Structure 1
Amino acid sequence: MRLHLVLVALLSTAVVACSSSGTVYKPAEERGAYGYTETELGADRYRVTFTGNSRTDKETVNDYAMLRAAELTLQSGYNWFHLVNRDTEGKTRTTGGISAINDFGGHTSVYRRCGLVSCDTVVTQTPSRISGGVSTSTTRTNYQASLEIKMGKNPMPDDAEAYNAQELASTLRRWIGQKAK
């Protein structure tokens, strides 16, 4: 019995850990899936994209795209990269419905509901007089960062959009490790 309780506690902890996590830094299994992709645009140019799930905030999606750009630069034999273009977009989806509210006024509740893969924001409107209805909606936002980079070897240009790939990768890996704790 005691072993059964320990196993249930461990499984519950694992489920909670999984449900609260954002997108893992990894290659995307296919275009549009969560993770990073890159497209070669020329000998020293790439487009790097990172797509997050609804639990991955905009800042993390941008940092993961920058980390991939730094890693790709080093893997390609270069020391630095220059950001030619940067774009981050959020896609928001709202689902839900209204069920026969015949009253004006009332109370609105907003809360987060988390499952195994993601969390949702739920908005519930209750009329001031009970008249047969409740309105609920769930909003999810997924962010995608896209970078166009041009790679180079030393000397690195003195430009705010030029990044030392080794330093940036090291800094972002340290930050990601601290954030995961």
Structure 2
Amino acid sequence: MKYLFLFTAMAALAACATPVPIYQPAQTENALGYRDYPIESNRYRISYRSSSEEAADRFALRRAAQLTANNGYDWFEIVNRSAEMNTNASSGSRVSIGGGTGSYGSGVSLGGGIGLGLGTASSGNTLVRLEVVMGAGPRPDRPNTYEADAVLANISG
């Protein structure tokens, strides 16, 4: 019973260690967050690196909407999208066992321990890249075209 409680507590702590994706600018090239640069006055390349592809997609879309609104446009069209997943080679479940003995003076000690590591999706990250073209006026009736205001209202950051 004691070991079941210990295992449950370790699993709960491992779950707490999973980072919650946050919308933010990336401080360095490989850091989590967004990076963008203009290609033309109404065309941008945007990338978002996050611990999950779903979050990277959402936040890249949000960044495209922000840039569109900030530049005085009403809508944007995704003309190119790619995703790249980077995983940590040490991810995955693993078990480690350790033990030791020692003596000091007339006392003797014996110790042991068991460790359990659980790899998660946060063991790596996903980089989503978008190339967007922005426009003003009524949104064209084409797939991959979005109203900037609607995206900003629906995807929180």
TM-aligned CA deviation for residue 32 of structure 1: 2.0
Matched with 1:93 is 88
Aligned pairs (5 A) from 1:66-85: 66-85=61-80
Match of 1:57 in 2: 52
Rg larger in 1 or in 2?
2
Are 2:152 and 1:169 aligned? yes
Which structure 2 residues correspond to residues 103-118 of structure 1 after superposition, within 5 A? Answer: none
C-alpha RMSD over aligned residues: 2.8
Alpha-carbon shift at residue 61 of structure 1 (Å):
1.0
Q: Could you state the TM-score of these two structures normalised by the residue count of structure 2?
A: 0.69
Relative to 1, partners in 2 of residues 1:63 and 1:137: Cα closer, same or farther, differing over 3 Å?
closer
Hey, what's the Cα distance between the residues in 2 that align with 1:154 and 1:137? 50
Aligned residues: 124
Of 4, 29, 32, the match for 2:30: 32
| Counterpart amino acid of residue 64 in structure 2 | A
In structure 2, give the amino acid aligned to 1:22: V
CA distance in 1, matches of 2:16, 2:118: 24
Distance 1:45 1:93, change over 3 A: same
Do the aligned residues in 2 keep the contact of 1:94 with 1:138 (CA within 8 Å)?
no
Residues 18/37 of structure 1: CA separation in 2 closer, same or farther (3 Å cut) = farther
TM superposition shift of 1:59: 0.7
TM-score (norm 1): 0.61
Gaps of 5+ in 2: 1-12, 98-116
Residue deviations 1:13-45 (CA, integer Å, cap 9, x gap): xx9997333332111112221100101101100
Q: Cα–Cα, structure 1 residues 20 and 67, in superposed 2: closer, same or farther, change >3 Å?
A: same
Q: CA deviation at 1:137?
A: 9.4
Partners of 2:16 and 2:46 in 1: how far apart? 26
Given the alignment, which residue of 127, 143, 153 partners 1:160? Answer: 143
